[in-house]
């Protein structure tokens, strides 16, 4: 098996036992990148030199007989909304064209410490607003399963990097499904940890109360090992929680006895008969293995999409106010006053979807509308959380399809924002509740992968990964070779 | 003609004295090279996040307790959204409906009587940066403007009063009193020149005897006590003229120009910003429990007004002296410390108000940074009272103590400054002086008492001020049979 098809944990073992060098591994992925990028367009910036120098540092440790940390030497790709010092970080927006952050996100510091060579920055929907990576100001990313299809979004580049064997691991961010939905479309494992589990310091904010950094990998084991690195309290992020360090791989391989999985009726309502059949078969297969499924109701879920499209744009309208052309990024030329400079820089620097959300957000926060929209949305958000709390009194895990359909065609939904928003209908509730979730591949529909979303209790990622690992081995999904 | 009642509410912004900014660890030092005290957080870099400096919370609670406010258990920061080039995030982190303190008051002395001014709220917020306009002193007309973010995110408390103030004089007294308290508590250094204390005034008029509030205007940029009084007087006059002529007041924000002593309209109500406040999702709400508040309550010092009264009633100081001894915390604490070492209140006050304050003024120094200690002052006063040194020597000693920080008894010993009380030595010096001044002796013999002063002076000079003047007087009276 070529190196690039091997799981991250296996690559790490090979490096540790001197069977291959980190440079060999990194070069193999860089070669694949240069080979497939013309058709996939997953990366916005490649950092070959950085990756190779980091790989060499790991190899030196190995040659000196120094011990390696978890996943050390295994390369990784980073979504372009995570600040990398002196490396372009654009959020796929014109307004941040050429922006070189003066600092590293906490996550990047962690990865540098841990010795995971950074391959480059991946394409995304502009400011993570979108579900197909098509709102990127720079390029369209293609789904490796079918290059006429979108990879999903907003972390489409990171999903494709792993699905196209350009990277064994990648980092994304998930505000309303931006990791789980593209993982589902690209047939890999995408994890969104509990809100507060991974530091947001240096993650360029879209909607602060919903944004969470997470990962893409080829399997659940790699995902669990990577979470061991990502998780942890950061004094620079007031919303990150100070919890004991834990090993998220500790429950892998020991299936939970008497596992009860909840199936929310609401998530199975709007599926096409074919898709529904796929999941019915899946549930039957898993049931035969002793997993007990329980149908339950999450009545407030009906309002999740509407709630999300008030809270997320409201926060975004404020978070994106700093892009004014004053201190960094794009500044419109030929303006004659400060007000005009700010207005023109924003008019020219933001794309249509970003403007749409800023407008919605500005509207719902306006005096006279705040109570009717933003305040009410926060109340509904509390109800959604309570629905989940109640459900978790009966079950260990909640499961659903990750998306109502497999990947759609490029351009198919770009003119219909509402249709586009609906593709996140299954993933959004979890962000509103702040809970952890992941998507694992569970089958094909029209030769495109479908995802199985597993949702856990807050800070119960170890259990979530245990169950995902158990189901992963039962499903036996092959991947995109 | 209608008699108008003036209704004023003040909003005071006080910069909280801290080492570091409200949401990052950058220094708050004033006057540094532009943009040298900045980081990703206070320059609003994408991805950077605020982390609250808890010292500011403690200080805000301190101020709240000192002004009889309720300290709110549930605290929340909110974003105030507006665009301006000196506001790097495009929003200011402030507090809206869950401020740290609410519903307090401050008693203010005006013309010998006490006025109670209600406080609506005290909340925490971050300062903006500073624009330096090129080619004009205003953003309009400037060729370009430079942005200095050293001040960005420096911590402020905004103290909002109820519309309880009834005159410009009262407003000034309130502002002075608040300045004294924030300085006293160490909440703010109260430095108006450096903008540590700034004030906006809401002013309206209503017919005397009515309750309904008239239309108000907000006057901004009141950066000195004098400005507060003058700008308010100006605005009262402007509104009175309009109302007297049957006109109506337009709700607007006006800008005060100290140099020209005039105000001009900045924007009307229609042009007012919609700040779109909402809770800042980057900062978690803070719960302030009873234990936290009582911990701060225990460290709360006696306030200047209470101390002022106590000095009059318990120590018998005059209103003037009591006021001087409570003018600021340094003086107050210095006075207290010296008092506790056994010196008399009146003596300490005399010296602090007199020679010591003159020396400090001349050397641009303060009690906190000069070398004089309460122990040294107390020792000097002891030596003065028991007659070891004369009043004249004491004056000289105080200067030396201020300058060098040397213990007074060391100075007395080293310089041989102890008063000469030895009768033999004094008599000898008098004899010499008399023999050198035969004309004066004639005058004294002729009963010209005025000449005594001259002779005493000569003796003091000969003794380098060490002769006990009482003894010199006594001896001369004996010699010439004067009474
Ligand atoms: Zn800073």
Q: What is the pLDDT of residues B144-199, one digit of tens each?
A: 889 999 999 999 999 999 999 999 999 999 999 999 999 999 999 988 888 889 99
The alpha carbon of A358 and the centre of ligand 1 are apart by a number of angstroms equal to 27
Mean pLDDT of A366-370: 91
Nearest C-alpha neighbor of B366 from the set B328, B404, B411: B328
pLDDT higher than 60, residue A479: no
Chain B residues in contact with A98 by the CB 8 A cut-off are: none
- B50 and B154 together in one domain: yes
Task: State which of B397, B415, B433 marks the end of a domain.
Answer: B415
- Contact partners, residue A323, CB within 8 Å, separation at least 6: A93, A95, A96, A329, A330, A345, A346, A349, A350, B46, B90
Instruction: Select the residue from A88, A322, A335, A362 to test the B interface by mutation, using most B Cβ atoms within 10 A.
Output: A322
Q: Which pLDDT score is estimated for A478?
A: 57
Q: Which of B40, B52, B276 lies nearest to residue A366, judging by beta carbons?
A: B276
The alpha carbon of B273 and the centre of ligand 1 are apart by a number of angstroms equal to 27
- B339 and B258 together in one domain: no
CB contact under 8 A, A83 and B281: no
| Average pLDDT value over all residues in chain B | 87
pLDDT higher than 90, residue A207: yes
Q: Which pLDDT score is estimated for B416?
A: 66
The alpha carbon of A333 and the centre of ligand 1 are apart by a number of angstroms equal to 29
- B406 and B274 together in one domain: no
- B216 and B83 together in one domain: yes
CB contact under 8 A, B45 and A103: yes
Q: Which pLDDT score is estimated for B483?
A: 63
| Average pLDDT value over all residues in chain A | 95
Say how many C-beta atoms besides its own lie within 10 A of residue B81's C-beta.
22
Q: Which pLDDT score is estimated for B7?
A: 95
- Assigned superfamily of A1-481: Amidase signature (AS) domain (3.90.1300.10)
CB contact under 8 A, B145 and A237: no
pLDDT higher than 80, residue A124: yes
Task: State which of B392, B415, B438 marks the end of a domain.
Answer: B415
Write out the catalytic residue numbers of A: 79, 154, 178
Strand A260-264 and strand A292-296: pairing? parallel
The domain that holds B475 is classified in CATH as 1.10.10.410
CB contact under 8 A, B45 and A83: yes
CB A224 within 8 A of CB A189: no
Report how many domains make up chain B.
3
pLDDT higher than 80, residue B482: no
* Among chain B residues, CA nearest to A369: B276
Q: Which pLDDT score is estimated for B480?
A: 77
The alpha carbon of B147 and the centre of ligand 1 are apart by a number of angstroms equal to 15
pLDDT higher than 70, residue A329: yes
Retrieve residue B226's tokens: 């004098």
pLDDT in tens, B398-444: 787 888 877 777 777 776 666 666 777 778 778 888 888 888 888 87
pLDDT in tens, A238-290: 999 999 899 999 999 888 888 999 999 999 988 889 999 999 999 999 998 88
- B354 and B319 together in one domain: yes
pLDDT in tens, A5-35: 999 999 999 999 999 999 999 999 999 999 9
**How far is it, in rounded angstroms, from Cα A200 to Cα A203?**
5
Give the lowest-confidence range in A128-132, B278-282, B382-386.
B382-386
B11: domain range?
4-292
Query: Is the pTM of the predicted complex or chain greater than 0.90?
Result: no
Question: Sign of the C-alpha dihedral, residues A127, A130, A134, A140?
Answer: positive
Give the pLDDT band (50/70/90) at residue B459.
confident
**Cis amide leading into B182 (omega within 30):** no
Task: Give the residue with greater pLDDT, A310 vs B353.
Answer: A310
* Among chain B residues, CA nearest to A366: B276
* Among chain B residues, CA nearest to A337: B140
Distances from the Cα of A148 to the Cα of A140, A181, A461, B91, angstroms: 11, 17, 35, 42
Residue B315 burial (C-beta neighbours within 10 Å; 0-12, 13-18, 19+)? middle
Give the gap in angstroms from C-alpha A202 to the nearest C-alpha of chain B: 4
Mean pLDDT of A138-160: 97
CB contact under 8 A, B276 and A317: yes
Q: Which of A201, A362, A366 lies nearest to residue B47, judging by beta carbons?
A: A201
Mean pLDDT of A195-218: 97
CB contact under 8 A, A96 and B46: yes
Q: Which pLDDT score is estimated for A61?
A: 96
Q: Which pLDDT score is estimated for B75?
A: 92
Chain A residues in contact with B79 by the CB 8 A cut-off are: 318
CB contact under 8 A, A318 and B45: no
Distances from the Cα of B302 to the Cα of B307, B309, B326, B338, B374, angstroms: 7, 11, 10, 17, 19
Retrieve residue B478's tokens: 């004996």
Expressed in angstroms, the distance from the first to the final Cα of chain A is: 11
CB contact under 8 A, A367 and B79: no
Chain B residues in contact with A238 by the CB 8 A cut-off are: 49-52, 282-284
pLDDT in tens, A51-68: 999 999 999 999 999 999
Mean pLDDT of B333-349: 82
B297, part of any domain: no
**How far is it, in rounded angstroms, from Cα B80 to Cα B87?**
11
pLDDT in tens, B54-77: 999 999 999 999 999 999 999 999
Name the percent of chain B lying above pLDDT 70: 97
- B285 and B379 together in one domain: no
Q: Which pLDDT score is estimated for B88?
A: 96
Residue B53 burial (C-beta neighbours within 10 Å; 0-12, 13-18, 19+)? buried
Task: Give the residue with greater pLDDT, B305 vs A309.
Answer: A309
CB B6 within 8 A of CB B203: yes
What ipTM score was computed for the predicted complex, to two decimals? 0.94
CB B103 within 8 A of CB B70: yes
Most confidently modeled of A82-91, B101-110, B403-412, B469-478? Answer: A82-91
- B432 and B359 together in one domain: no
Retrieve residue B88's tokens: 């790097």
Give the pLDDT band (50/70/90) at residue B456.
confident
- B53 and B101 together in one domain: yes
- B402 and B437 together in one domain: no
CB A94 within 8 A of CB A125: no
- B391 and B474 together in one domain: no
pLDDT higher than 80, residue B333: yes
Q: Which of B46, B50, B276 lies nearest to residue A365, judging by beta carbons?
A: B276
Task: State which of B385, B415, B445 marks the end of a domain.
Answer: B415
The alpha carbon of A312 and the centre of ligand 1 are apart by a number of angstroms equal to 27
pLDDT higher than 80, residue B285: yes
Question: Sign of the C-alpha dihedral, residues A250, A252, A256, A261?
Answer: positive
Question: Sign of the C-alpha dihedral, residues B57, B60, B66, B69?
Answer: negative
CB A259 within 8 A of CB A396: yes
Mean pLDDT of B279-302: 93
The alpha carbon of B145 and the centre of ligand 1 are apart by a number of angstroms equal to 21
Mean pLDDT of A155-170: 98
Q: Which pLDDT score is estimated for B368?
A: 81
- B33 and B130 together in one domain: yes
Chain B residues in contact with A201 by the CB 8 A cut-off are: 47-49
B242, part of any domain: yes
- B285 and B411 together in one domain: no
Q: Which pLDDT score is estimated for A480?
A: 42
């Amino acid at each position: 098996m070529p190196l690039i098809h091997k799981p991250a944990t296996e690559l790490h073992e090979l490096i540790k036992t001197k069977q291959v060098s980190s440079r060999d591994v990194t070069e193999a992925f860089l070669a694949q990148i240069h080979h497939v990028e013309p058709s996939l367009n997953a990366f916005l910036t490649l950092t070959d030199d950085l990756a190779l120098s980091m790989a060499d540092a790991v190899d030196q440790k190995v040659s000196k007989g120094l011990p390696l940390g978890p996943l050390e030497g295994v390369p990784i790709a980073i979504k372009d909304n995570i600040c990398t010092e002196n490396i372009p970080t654009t959020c796929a927006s014109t307004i941040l064209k050429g922006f070189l952050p003066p600092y590293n996100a906490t996550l990047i510091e962690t990865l540098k410490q841990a010795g995971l060579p950074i391959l480059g920055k991946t394409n995304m929907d502009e400011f993570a607003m979108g579900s197909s990576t098509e709102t990127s100001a720079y390029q369209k990313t293609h789904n490796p399963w079918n290059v006429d299809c979108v990879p999903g979004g907003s972390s489409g580049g990171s999903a494709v990097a792993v699905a196209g064997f350009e990277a064994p691991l990648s980092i994304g961010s998930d505000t309303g499904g931006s990791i789980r939905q593209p993982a589902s479309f690209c047939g890999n494992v995408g994890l969104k940890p509990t809100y507060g589990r991974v530091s947001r310091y240096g993650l360029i904010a879209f909607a602060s109360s919903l944004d969470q950094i997470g990962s893409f990998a080829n399997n659940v084991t790699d995902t669990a090992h990577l979470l061991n690195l990502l998780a942890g309290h950061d004094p620079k992020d007031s919303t990150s929680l100070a919890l004991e360090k834990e090993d998220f791989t500790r429950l892998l391989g020991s299936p939970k006895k008497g596992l009860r999985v909840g199936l929310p009726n609401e998530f199975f309502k709007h599926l096409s008969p074919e898709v529904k059949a796929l999941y019915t078969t899946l549930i039957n297969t898993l049931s035969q293995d002793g997993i007990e499924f329980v149908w339950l109701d999450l009545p407030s879920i009906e309002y999740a999409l509407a709630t999300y499209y008030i809270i997320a744009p409201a926060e975004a309208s404020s978070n994106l106010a700093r892009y004014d052309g004053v201190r960094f990024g794009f500044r419109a030329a030929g303006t004659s006053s400060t007000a005009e400079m700010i207005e023109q820089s924003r008019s020219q620097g933001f794309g249509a979807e970003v403007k749409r959300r800023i407008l919605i957000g500005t509207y719902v926060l306006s005096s006279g509308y705040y109570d009717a929209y933003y305040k009410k949305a926060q109340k509904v958000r509390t109800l959604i959380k309570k629905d989940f709390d109640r459900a978790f009194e009966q079950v260990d895990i909640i499961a659903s399809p990750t998306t109502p359909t497999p990947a759609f065609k490029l351009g198919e939904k770009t003119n219909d924002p509402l249709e586009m928003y609906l593709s996140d209908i299954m993933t959004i509730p979890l962000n509103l509740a702040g809970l952890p979730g992941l998507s694992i591949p569970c089958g094909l529909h029209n030769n495109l992968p479908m995802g199985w979303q597993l949702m856990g209790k807050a800070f119960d990622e170890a259990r979530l990964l245990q169950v995902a690992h158990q189901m992963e081995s039962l499903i036996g999904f092959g991947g995109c070779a | 003609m209608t008699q108008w009642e003036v209704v004023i509410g003040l909003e005071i912004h006080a910069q909280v004295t801290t080492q570091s900014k409200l949401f990052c660890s950058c220094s708050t030092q004033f006057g540094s090279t532009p943009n040298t005290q900045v980081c990703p957080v206070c320059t609003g870099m994408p991805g950077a996040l605020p982390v609250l400096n808890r010292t500011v919370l403690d200080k805000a609670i301190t101020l709240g307790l000192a002004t009889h406010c309720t300290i709110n258990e549930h605290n929340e920061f909110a974003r105030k959204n507006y665009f301006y080039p000196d506001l790097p995030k495009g929003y200011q982190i402030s507090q809206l409906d869950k401020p740290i303190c609410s519903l307090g008051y401050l008693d203010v002395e005006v013309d010998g009587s006490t006025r109670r001014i209600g406080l609506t709220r005290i909340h925490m917020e971050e300062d903006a940066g500073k624009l330096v306009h090129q080619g004009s002193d205003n953003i309009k007309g400037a060729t370009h403007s430079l942005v200095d973010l050293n001040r960005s995110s420096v911590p402020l408390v905004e103290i909002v009063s109820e519309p309880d103030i009834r005159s410009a004089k009262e407003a000034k007294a309130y502002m002075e009193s608040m300045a004294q308290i924030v300085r006293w508590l160490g909440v703010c250094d109260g430095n108006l020149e450096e903008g540590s204390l700034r004030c906006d005034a809401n002013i309206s008029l209503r017919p005397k005897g009515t309750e309904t509030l008239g239309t108000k205007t907000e006057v901004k940029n009141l950066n000195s006590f004098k400005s507060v009084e003058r700008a308010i007087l100006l605005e009262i006059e402007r509104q009175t003229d309009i109302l007297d002529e049957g006109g109506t007041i337009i709700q607007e924000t006006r800008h005060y120009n100290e140099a020209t002593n005039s105000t001009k309209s900045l924007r009307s109500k229609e042009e007012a910003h919609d700040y779109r406040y909402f809770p800042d999702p980057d900062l978690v709400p803070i719960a302030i429990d009873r234990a936290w508040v009582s911990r701060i309550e225990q460290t709360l010092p006696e306030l200047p007004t209470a101390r002022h009264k106590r000095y009059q009633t318990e120590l018998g100081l005059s209103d003037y002296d009591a006021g001087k001894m409570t003018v600021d915390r340094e003086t107050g604490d210095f006075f207290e410390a010296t008092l506790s070492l056994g010196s008399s209140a009146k003596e300490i006050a005399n010296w602090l108000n007199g020679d010591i304050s003159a020396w400090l003024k001349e050397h641009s120094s303060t009690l906190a940074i000069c070398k004089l200690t309460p122990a040294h002052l107390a020792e000097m006063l002891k030596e003065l009272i028991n007659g070891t040194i004369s009043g004249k020597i004491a004056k000289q000693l105080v200067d030396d103590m201020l300058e060098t920080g040397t213990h007074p008894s060391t100075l007395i010993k080293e310089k041989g400054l102890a008063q000469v009380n030895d009768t033999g030595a004094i008599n000898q010096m008098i004899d010499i002086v008399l023999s050198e001044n035969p004309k004066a002796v004639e005058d004294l013999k002729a009963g010209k008492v005025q000449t005594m002063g001259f002779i005493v002076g000569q003796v003091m000079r000969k003794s380098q001020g060490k002769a006990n003047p009482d003894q010199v007087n006594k001896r001369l009276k004996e010699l010439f049979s004067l009474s």
